[in-house]
């Protein structure tokens, strides 16, 4: 008797649109409060248009609760014409940084970029704050909870670069590993299918950016860009 093919459900995993972490005077903006900038709004709208063109309909929409994820999800839903109230899952908050003022100058670059380079040590801390392992230990159970709920077929998660890397790393390896080199451009879309078994993940595509899918001008990572912005700010002060 032929075994029936696996039936998988679809997870669309987005990173929020572009934001501006430093104001016009070079002062940092609180990460918990920063909204989308003009580019970020256009990226969210472009993602919505891509979903609409493909006829994708969501059963659920989940955000971290930070304004940049809430706004991105709202714009996607508006463009697709879907009236869904996003669910806020705080455990999917971005990896939390510490106080930059406590980090020695010679360790600053590593503090910015170390959590997103190669196979990352779980003890590696982001900007002197939360470790990669601590982030995985709150993100992975949330994924298990989502998968245990059989009421949905297609879900949209609008989250963050670090959290997305944790999810993609789990899907690709089936282990508590963190692949820091997985690029997550602002407003990007990833697609993952999940089956009934714990390791039944299929990664369909990663880091698709609807406004510029070939990303011809992308050569630096998000954290390299932020470190450069921080250095310019520090030089002004």
- In tens, the pLDDT along 45-79 reads 999 999 999 999 999 999 999 999 999 999 999 99
Is residue 89 assigned to a domain?
yes
58 phi/psi in degrees, rounded to 5: -100, 140
Which domain covers residue 37, as residue numbers? 9-95+131-236
Is residue 37 assigned to a domain?
yes
16-43: average pLDDT: 89
pLDDT band at 235 (very low <50, low <70, confident <90, very high): low
Is residue 112 assigned to a domain?
no
Total domains present in the chain: 1
Q: How many helices (H) and strands (E) does the chain have?
A: 6, 6
Instruction: Identify the CATH number of the domain in which residue 202 sits.
Output: 3.40.50.1240
pLDDT band at 192 (very low <50, low <70, confident <90, very high): very high
190 within 8 A of 96, measured Cβ to Cβ: no
pLDDT band at 1 (very low <50, low <70, confident <90, very high): very low
Is residue 85 assigned to a domain?
yes
| Cα torsion angle, 177, 181, 187, 191, sign | negative
CA distance 224 to 87: 31
34 within 8 A of 67, measured Cβ to Cβ: yes
- In tens, the pLDDT along 135-162 reads 999 999 999 999 999 999 999 999 999 9
Is residue 2 assigned to a domain?
no
Is residue 106 assigned to a domain?
no
């Amino acid at each position: 008797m032929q075994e029936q093919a696996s039936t998988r459900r679809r997870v669309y995993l987005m990173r929020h649109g572009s934001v501006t972490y430093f104001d016009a005077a070079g002062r940092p903006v609180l990460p918990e409060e920063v909204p989308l900038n003009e580019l970020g709004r256009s990226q969210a709208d472009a993602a919505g248009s891509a979903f609409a063109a493909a006829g994708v309909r969501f059963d659920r929409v989940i955000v971290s609760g930070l304004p940049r994820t809430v706004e991105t999800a709202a714009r996607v839903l508006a463009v697709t014409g879907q009236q869904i109230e996003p669910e806020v899952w705080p455990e999917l908050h971005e990896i939390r940084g510490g106080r930059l003022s406590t980090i020695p100058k010679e360790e600053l670059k590593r503090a910015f970029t170390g959590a997103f380079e190669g196979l990352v040590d779980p003890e590696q801390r982001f900007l002197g704050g939360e470790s990669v392992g601590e982030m995985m230990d709150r993100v992975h159970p949330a994924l298990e909870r989502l998968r245990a709920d059989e009421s949905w077929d297609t879900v949209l998660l609008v989250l963050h670069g670090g959290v997305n890397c944790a999810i993609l790393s789990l899907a690709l390896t089936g282990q508590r590993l963190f692949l820091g080199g997985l690029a997550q451009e602002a407003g990007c879309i990833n697609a993952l299918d999940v089956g009934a078994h714990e390791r039944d993940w299929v990664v369909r595509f990663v880091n698709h950016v609807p406004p510029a899918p070939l990303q011809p001008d992308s050569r630096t990572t998000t954290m390299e860009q932020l470190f450069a912005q921080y250095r310019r700010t520090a030089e002004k002060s």
